[in-house]
Amino acid sequence: MVWVAALPDGEIHVWRVYLNSDPVGPLRFEELLSGDELGRASRFYFESDRRHYIAGRAALRSILGHYLREPAAGLSFRYNDFGKPALDRDTDLAFNLAHSGAVGLIAVTRAGLIGVDVEAMRSDIDFTGIATHYFSPRENAVLRSLPPQQRCRCFFDCWTRKEAYIKAIGEGLSIPLDRFDVTNAPGEPARLIADRLDPMMSQRWTIQDLPSQDGHVAAAAVEATAISWRLFDWSDEQN
């Protein structure tokens, strides 16, 4: 597709990235990455994970470089104590990257803090057991009330919404997942119901389910309201 021209203040742009690129792709992508990023890539045990990381970082750099109108290879990043990246400059451009296998999502906005998560749905896990340890009492009650055939989607809807929220805040799993409630009943729109650390958070944050394919579920969270969302597909031809 043709690059979008700009990123208005009230928009969130979400780029869908397919990380299984042509075998020659990573060689070209590596030219965009910093020495630190290449060092991280070299530490992956599986070659597929290394390729996915390189393709994802190249896509991220290309997308951010487009909005900043700067060469992708020249961008630099800083990381907070919990590992969340940000551009190493004074800018209102916020972003977040998530991937599950070969499916990646990159969310970019000027509206505020942003987080995104994508997960491949699996039916062979202990939904109720995991939820007991990580979900809030309200979320657990909803999950247990459902017939077995609906629990898989309910679990992953809840998980991606919660992950997107804590990724946006940027403090990782230092934030207990049972500290806050998100909607997770079938057909219920994505929403932050309550954060027990700050009752006003639910009025400042928006959680949005994202279109997904190939058995994946995805969500984003942004510290803003009165916003609009646009979804794009990224191609390595755009970098």
Domain ranges of the chain: 11-93+104-110+227-238, 118-222
Query: Do the domains 11-93+104-110+227-238 and 118-222 sit in the same CATH topology, yes or no?
Result: yes
- Separation in Å, CA 97 to CA 56, 64, 222, 234, 236: 8, 12, 13, 13, 16
- Separation in Å, CA 86 to CA 113, 225, 236: 10, 22, 22
Tell me the mean pLDDT per 10 residues along the chain, length 239. Answer: 75 93 65 89 90 93 94 94 93 96 95 96 91 96 95 96 97 92 96 95 96 90 95 74
Contact yes or no for 74/67 (Cβ under 8 A):
no
Write down the pLDDT at residue 6. 84
Write down the pLDDT at residue 236. 58
Closest residue by Cα to residue 95 from 103, 19, 197, 104: 104
Element (H, E) at 168: helix 148-169
CATH H superfamily, domain 118-222:
4'-phosphopantetheinyl transferase domain (3.90.470.20)
Q: Which CATH number describes the domain made up of 11-93+104-110+227-238? A: 3.90.470.20
d(C-alpha 109, C-alpha 62), whole Å: 15
Write down the pLDDT at residue 24. 47
Write down the pLDDT at residue 226. 87
What's the count of helices (H) and strands (E) in the chain, helices before strands?
7, 11
